[in-house]
Structure 1
Amino acid sequence: MTEATERFFESLPARAPKVLVSPVSGTLQIHLTQDTRTVHWLAHLRPGAIEVSRNRGPADAIWYTSEELFDRLVTGRAQAISSVLRNESSFSGDVVLFLLFRRFFPDPPGARDPREAARAQLGRLR
């Protein structure tokens, strides 16, 4: 597993209060595969908090992806929903947990909030 992925999971509890603002709760099991080995992460999500461990356990949803793709996700070089739509990863269970968890991933390098771009454009027109 890459250092970026390790740092990503370590950062989740501190970032959760800003990311997990909805009333959704549940457990997401993440399976990261590399060749014939699989690394497991278990994330218990609740409003304003997340607990992450390297355990396996009962989960409301399971996400299967490669370590290489996950590394691209945590560095903003790939998008979670696009990876599922392209069959690069798969998901089963409560889709709301997947949609909530993906909010932890960074935006692509150079991405801007469209509202900021519109405000900048409006400022130039005045």
Structure 2
Amino acid sequence: MGEVIEQFFASLPARAPAVLRSPIAGTLRIDLTTGNRTDHWLIELAPGSVRVRHEHGPADAVWTSSAGLFERLVTGRAQGIASVLRNECTFSGQVLLFLAFRRFFPDPPGTRDPRQTAREQAGRPA
């Protein structure tokens, strides 16, 4: 398991109050595969909080991905929904948990907030 992935999971509890503001609650299991090995992460989501455990267990939703793809997700080089739609990973269970969890992923490098771009354009002479 890559250090980037370990750091991502370790950062979730501190980031949860800013990211999880909706009344979503449940357990998401993330299964990361490397060759014939699978690492399991249980993520318990609640409004404003996250509990992370590196173990296998029952969950309301299961997301299975290669460790390589997940590393690209946590570094902003790939997008979660696009990866599911391309069948690069699989998801089953309560889709709202996936939609809430994907907000922890960073934007792609170089992405700018369109509101900031509009403000900059409005301040420039035409």
TM-score if structure 1 supplies the norm length? 0.98
Mark the runs of 5 or more structure 1 residues left unpaired by the alignment: none
Aligned to 2:90: 90
Mark the runs of 5 or more structure 2 residues left unpaired by the alignment: none
Alignment of 1:94-109 (within 5 A): 94-109=94-109
Shift of 1:39: 0.3
Moved beyond 6 Å, runs of 4+? none
Measure the CA separation in 1 of the matches of 2:110 and 2:16: 24
TM-score if structure 2 supplies the norm length? 0.98
Measure the CA separation in 1 of the matches of 2:99 and 2:11: 18
Indicate yes or no: 2:5 matched with 1:5: yes
Aligned to 1:36: 36
Measure the CA separation in 2 of the matches of 1:125 and 1:33: 53
Give the match's secondary structure for 2:124.
helix
C-alpha RMSD over aligned residues: 0.8
Shift of 1:125: 3.5
The superposition leaves residues 16-38 of structure 1 with CA deviations (integer Å, 9 ceiling, x where unpaired) of 00000001100000000011000
Indicate yes or no: 2:79 matched with 1:79: yes
